Structure 1
Amino acid sequence: MAKNRYSSNGKMKEELPKVKISKKSLREALEIFRYVLPYRGRFIAGLFFIALSSATTLSYPYLLKKLIDSANAFMNGISGVKPGTIALWMLGILMIQTVFSYLRVYLFTYTGEHALADLRKDVYRHLIQLPMEFFVQKRVGELSSRISSDLSQIQDAVTVMLAEILRGILTLIIGIGLILYISTKLTLLMLSIIPIIIVVGFVFGKRIRKLSRESQDQLADSNIIVQETFQGISNVKAFSNEWFEIDRYSSSLMKVVKLAVRNGKVRGIFVAFIVFSLFGSIILVVWYGVQLMQQHQLSFGALTAFVIYTTFVGGSMAGFADLYGQLQKTLGATQRVRELLKENKESVSIADEEVRDEFKLHGKVELRDVAFAYPSRREIGVLKDVSIKINPGEQVALVGPSGAGKSTVASLLLRFYDPDSGQLLMDGRDAKEIPLSQLRRQMAVVPQDVLLFGGTIKENIAYGKPSATMEEIESAARQAYAHEFIDSFPEGYETIVGERGIKLSGGQRQRVAIARAILKDPVILILDEATSSLDSASESLVQDALENLMKNRTSIIIAHRLSTIRNADKIIVLDKGIVKETGTHEELLNLDEGLYRNLSRLQLEWE
């Protein structure tokens, strides 16, 4: 099986794409690393302790040489520093190194965690201020990956990779210097062997990584089969296709096994080569060292130290290949995060501010000669010269066939998008003159598919007014006909609704959403087919709650069920992005060959 990588927090990491190392990618990475600057004191101290830790580690082979040579000298009756004294030196350095290692890990962890927390907050803050157009074009999974995988990769770079690169460079430079000092001849022999091993290891490593990615991709395909099967389990059972899904999953798994076995063969050859090369090199170096000892050009202690230093140097060289790959991944991660941070934000306020007097609305809404096409489908005009006037406190219904542009009007009112031409006016002034947050704080939406957050019922209702008291929350719930079912739960308002509100029925979720809107007390209310997916019993309760919600406020009702909007002050019929008819329920029914009359007749026949 492909070898999985783990991040510094112990969680499995997904295989991230790499980018070529260039001046541009390095410059972008350095811009991301500005988040380290507030903690640069600890970061520099961490670098200092890495250097000290590396130095103390590299002192052990040299002291071991001294220990062995001292022991040999005493055996031969030659006076000098006692072996016990050298051993005490080594123990003292070991104690000092433990302090250095602790401080290195602590300082880098502190710096990395705080810097990446700041970066995560900035990325999230930036994402949440991006326009709807961005979210329509991006998948949620992709954005989650940016916040999790990419930022975790950057975190590992700050907390682990930088330390490993510095330690590797120091080990390589100091190690080569020390083995040259011990024996130039042995050093030249060793340096002639190690590059060959590294090159072969790099080639094998590239092949192994490719097979690992293929195996991971195939395993991901197998997981998709499981996900699809369980999501559509009712269809699987209805068609009695359990055997088909088992065969499909088994076939996919066998491909995973074949790839993993092939990867295992390559890794087996690689491991065998490394073992042979490593121990063969040690044998060759020791053999040549013994020859130098016989010629009195090298002591036994020096040979021992040389072998250990050679292992350090070889390990550092081998580690650079993996560090290079990690650096490429980090540069790719910083590039993708930078792309997110470069996206243009909406001019929304991220402070909890009250509506200012100069921007308070009375509820008059007008669309004047509005034309609009979604940015992703510019060739398809959704609205064409639409003009709508809504007076304060009016209940206006938007009806029409699917795709007529009803929900698009709601999106324009909320300024999720701006018209391509024409104007959106609020109380006679251009909506663009009103700050987005000030505008949206005076509007509320009750959609068809209510999304509740995975907290308590109380928290979901309070989302309409985070500062609300318990009395205000309960009052809103009573007006929404939600208090009775909430009170029937053992935990009442503290009941956890589950992911997306899955623990509540459709009607219950709808009434919680209405309570949320009541608590917000909007000037302008948008009901986007709020009862279309409910049964008759739930619809009756929700309709009563909506009547309470719509009192004394401008209400725009998007509806498919025409029976729910008979009492509207005005009904606007849209078709193919054009206003076809306008009037009350009775007026539109009296229009011969009218679209509203035809839709009403079709619904009566269907019912």
Structure 2
Amino acid sequence: MPRYQENDLPKAKLDSNSLQKALRIFKYGKNHKWKFFLGLIFLLLTSATALAFPKLMGMLVDCVTNKNLNRANEIAVALLVILMLQAVFSFFRISLFVNFTENSLSNIRFALYENLVKLPMSFYSQKRVGELNSRISADISQLQDTFTTTIAEFLRQFILIIGGFIILGNISPKLTLMMLAIVPVVAVAAVIFGRFIRKYGKKTQDKVAESQVIVEETLQGISNVKAFANEWYEIQRYKNKIREIVKIAIKGGQYRGYFASFIILCLFGCVVAIVWYGITLTIKGEVKDVGDLISFVLYTTFIGASFGGIAEMYAQIQKAVGATERVFELLEEVPEDIKTSQKSSIVEKIRGNVAFQNVAFSYPSRKEVQVLKNVNFTAEFGQKIAIVGPSGAGKSTISSLLLRFYDITSGEILVDGKNIYDYDLENLRGNMSIVPQDVILFGGTIKENIAYGKPEATDEEIIKAAKQANAFNFVDGFPEKFETLVGERGVKLSGGQRQRIAIARALLKNPSILILDEATSSLDSESEKLVQEALEVLMEGRTSIIIAHRLSTIRNADKILVLDNGIITEEGTHQELINLENGIYKNLSNLQFSNS
């Protein structure tokens, strides 16, 4: 699973198409766009004051030659004013860019989350949640850095380079040509060299991370290591990895040494060369005075530093454009038709008659495999319909289709004689509840988890649902009662306790159609008894679709459907199916009851 760090996010090629896509981010600035453009004005003012600084410094040095103290004082005051202006302009530039960026990114984060939550199950069946999470956090952080600092700095350095060259050309065209021949080349070479060294540093980090994985694996599985007497093997594995780290780190150190030598020789050599040539031209009278030479050296330093910085920033902008493209990929995924307003009370209460008519289905990711083939059955209001069959027969798929998690390939599913695609999604799902085999609770309190079925429920309703679900006694036994935190995914509760919370949640919702997806298959006998009692209460007065693994739980069902390889092969009551010679149900029943 790719877990991108911000440093190694993929870059996008910068062209008019990719930049056009990236500029769509501005629509999320909404009524904050003016802050970005005002920030650009302050950016221009910051750059202008920065360009005035070397010129004034040169003029200040000339006061030594002219022995003009008053003029020196005036220039010194002007320099202080420029520094103060630069400080003020920088403050507003940074504040405005941060303000614009944070507001825009909060809108993007919200739009992204809203779209992700509304995406259909077919999307999640093809994507890893960890990857989405990792991508969103890394990509949004990249945008944050780029819009708060990188774009502004890139433009500032660009203005400094262009403005610097114009001013240098005015001071001395000859000296400018010499500077152009060496400084940019050396600056770019320094950037490439620096990037190469960073890659080496990253290699060392990767190897250290790999060695940490060995330590973690060994200590986590220490009982296995001891049981197989494999201490020597793990020690050798770690030793080899440590040797690799040393080898790469030493090589990286050598390259850093070369880089330090390169900087001393080339960059400082450039400064010496330019100063020497400048002095030669000043002596010949081609450069007016020493002040101009000082200004020239300062401008050259500015330009050299800007050349060095701008290459790195260009790479950051490429990453940001790539991040924007990936964010918009997720934003452009087509969501389900779900209203975003506060969940209203269900307008249309359905009765709960369900009919599958010639339903065929294949999962979007495996279109060649037909999971269901012409499935036909009816479930009248108040009936208990059980679906049994071997693993992979398509039992859970029936509940997913009823909830409209996926679109059927052919046929029709009717609820109260009306096609399920003619219902509003909220209305359809609002009339249904599912109690799955593996109940996942949210990391809040027990009260919040029960109220998830009806967020506006009163305390009395929550307590009543807990009592009906056989959950009240164990909840009341906790010191914090209904305010007890369940832990991430409900880890602080046992399987039976989680199931009863899920049943209380379903009871509170008061659905017309109830789906029980192997709700007791992973429980011990005592928990199963309590959960089964709670399920009996829950199933009263509503249509129940029971996907069963343990046949003992469905003996009283009004109708049992035997699903095998996507086809309903047998249908009837427990008694009718047990009498079928060589029937699948009879064989399953014999197997289970002979083993119990």
Query: Is this a same-fold pair by TM over 0.5?
Result: yes
- 1:434 and 2:423 matched: yes
The root-mean-square deviation of aligned C-alpha atoms, in Å, is: 2.4
What's 2:258 paired with? 269
Q: Distance in 2 between matches of 1:124 and 1:440?
A: 21
What's 2:514 paired with? 525
Q: In structure 2, what residue type is equivalent to 1:294?
A: I
* C-alpha deviation, 1:19, in angstroms: 2.2
Alignment counterpart, residue 55 of structure 1, candidates 21, 26, 48: 48
Q: Distance in 1 between matches of 2:449 and 2:61?
A: 73
- 1:567 and 2:556 matched: yes
What's 2:527 paired with? 538
SS, match of residue 573 in structure 1 = strand
Alignment counterpart, residue 339 of structure 2, candidates 344, 349, 353: 349
* C-alpha deviation, 1:299, in angstroms: 2.9
1:149-168 maps to which residues of 2 (within 5 A)? 149-168=138-157
Alignment counterpart, residue 322 of structure 2, candidates 311, 332, 338: 332
Q: In structure 1, what residue type is equivalent to 2:460?
A: E
Deviations 1:132-152 (A, max 9, x none): 111111111221123211122
- 1:33 and 2:23 matched: no
* Compared CA separation, residues 260 and 423, structure 1 to 2 (3 A): farther
Check whether the contact 1:355–1:438 (CA below 8 A) recurs between aligned residues: no
Q: Distance in 1 between matches of 2:217 and 2:72?
A: 69
SS, match of residue 142 in structure 1 = helix
Q: Distance in 2 between matches of 1:184 and 1:597?
A: 99
Q: In structure 2, what residue type is equivalent to 1:560?
A: H
TM-score, normalised on structure 2?
0.93
1:100-249 maps to which residues of 2 (within 5 A)? 100-205=89-194, 207-208=196-197, 210-211=199-200, 214-215=203-204, 218=207, 244-245=233-234, 247-248=236-237
- 1:97 and 2:86 matched: yes
Aligned residues: 592
More moved, 196-205 vs 446-455? 196-205
Q: Distance in 1 between matches of 2:69 and 2:546?
A: 98
What's 1:3 paired with? none
Q: Distance in 2 between matches of 1:129 and 1:64?
A: 61
* C-alpha deviation, 1:251, in angstroms: 4.1
1:308-319 maps to which residues of 2 (within 5 A)? 308-319=298-309
* Compared CA separation, residues 351 and 509, structure 1 to 2 (3 A): same
* C-alpha deviation, 1:197, in angstroms: 0.9
* C-alpha deviation, 1:18, in angstroms: 1.2
Q: In structure 2, what residue type is equivalent to 1:22?
A: D
- 1:69 and 2:62 matched: yes
Q: In structure 2, what residue type is equivalent to 1:393?
A: G
* C-alpha deviation, 1:394, in angstroms: 1.1
Check whether the contact 1:289–1:298 (CA below 8 A) recurs between aligned residues: no
Q: Distance in 2 between matches of 1:134 and 1:219?
A: 36
Q: Distance in 2 between matches of 1:310 and 1:127?
A: 50
Deviations 1:305-326 (A, max 9, x none): 2222111101111222112211
Check whether the contact 2:361–2:410 (CA below 8 A) recurs between aligned residues: yes
1:432-511 maps to which residues of 2 (within 5 A)? 432-511=421-500
Check whether the contact 2:26–2:33 (CA below 8 A) recurs between aligned residues: no
Check whether the contact 2:359–2:408 (CA below 8 A) recurs between aligned residues: yes
Alignment counterpart, residue 277 of structure 2, candidates 283, 288, 294: 288
Q: Distance in 2 between matches of 1:443 and 1:230?
A: 46
Q: Distance in 1 between matches of 2:413 and 2:243?
A: 59
Q: In structure 2, what residue type is equivalent to 1:523?
A: S
* Compared CA separation, residues 462 and 24, structure 1 to 2 (3 A): same
What's 1:418 paired with? 407
Q: In structure 1, what residue type is equivalent to 2:322?
A: G
Check whether the contact 2:346–2:430 (CA below 8 A) recurs between aligned residues: no
Check whether the contact 1:482–1:515 (CA below 8 A) recurs between aligned residues: yes
SS, match of residue 531 in structure 1 = coil
Q: In structure 2, what residue type is equivalent to 1:90?
A: L
Q: Distance in 2 between matches of 1:99 and 1:193?
A: 35
* Compared CA separation, residues 229 and 575, structure 1 to 2 (3 A): farther
Q: In structure 1, what residue type is equivalent to 2:305?
A: G
Q: Distance in 2 between matches of 1:258 and 1:500?
A: 44
Check whether the contact 1:373–1:381 (CA below 8 A) recurs between aligned residues: yes
SS, match of residue 125 in structure 2 = helix
Q: Distance in 2 between matches of 1:233 and 1:528?
A: 38
Q: Distance in 1 between matches of 2:125 and 2:379?
A: 29
More moved, 193-202 vs 156-165? 193-202
Q: Distance in 2 between matches of 1:14 and 1:284?
A: 36
Q: In structure 2, what residue type is equivalent to 1:347?
A: D
1:554-593 maps to which residues of 2 (within 5 A)? 554-593=543-582
Check whether the contact 2:557–2:574 (CA below 8 A) recurs between aligned residues: yes
* C-alpha deviation, 1:201, in angstroms: 3.0
Q: Distance in 1 between matches of 2:230 and 2:412?
A: 55
What's 2:354 paired with? 365
SS, match of residue 137 in structure 1 = coil
Deviations 1:489-519 (A, max 9, x none): 2222222222211122212222221221112
Q: In structure 1, what residue type is equivalent to 2:81?
A: G
Deviations 1:573-597 (A, max 9, x none): 1111111111222222122211111
What's 1:547 paired with? 536
Q: Which runs of 5+ in 2 are unaligned?
A: none
SS, match of residue 367 in structure 1 = strand
Alignment counterpart, residue 391 of structure 1, candidates 377, 380, 403: 380
Check whether the contact 1:444–1:525 (CA below 8 A) recurs between aligned residues: yes
SS, match of residue 102 in structure 1 = helix
* Compared CA separation, residues 551 and 222, structure 1 to 2 (3 A): farther
Deviations 1:382-428 (A, max 9, x none): 11111010011111111111011100101111011121111110001
Check whether the contact 2:434–2:506 (CA below 8 A) recurs between aligned residues: yes
What's 2:505 paired with? 516
* Compared CA separation, residues 211 and 504, structure 1 to 2 (3 A): same
SS, match of residue 357 in structure 2 = strand
Check whether the contact 2:6–2:139 (CA below 8 A) recurs between aligned residues: no
* Compared CA separation, residues 73 and 106, structure 1 to 2 (3 A): same
Q: Which runs of 5+ in 1 are unaligned?
A: 1-5, 7-11
* Compared CA separation, residues 528 and 50, structure 1 to 2 (3 A): same
Q: In structure 1, what residue type is equivalent to 2:58?
A: K
Q: Distance in 2 between matches of 1:511 and 1:452?
A: 11
TM-score, normalised on structure 1?
0.91
* C-alpha deviation, 1:572, in angstroms: 1.0
What's 2:35 paired with? 42
* Compared CA separation, residues 413 and 225, structure 1 to 2 (3 A): farther
Q: Distance in 1 between matches of 2:515 and 2:82?
A: 72
Check whether the contact 2:158–2:310 (CA below 8 A) recurs between aligned residues: no
* C-alpha deviation, 1:601, in angstroms: 0.9
Alignment counterpart, residue 371 of structure 2, candidates 382, 397, 400: 382
Q: Distance in 2 between matches of 1:459 and 1:245?
A: 47
SS, match of residue 369 in structure 1 = strand
* C-alpha deviation, 1:342, in angstroms: 2.2
Q: In structure 1, what residue type is equivalent to 2:563?
A: L
SS, match of residue 266 in structure 2 = helix
Q: Distance in 1 between matches of 2:268 and 2:400?
A: 70
Deviations 1:453-490 (A, max 9, x none): 12222222221112222222222222222222222222
Q: Distance in 1 between matches of 2:460 and 2:219?
A: 42
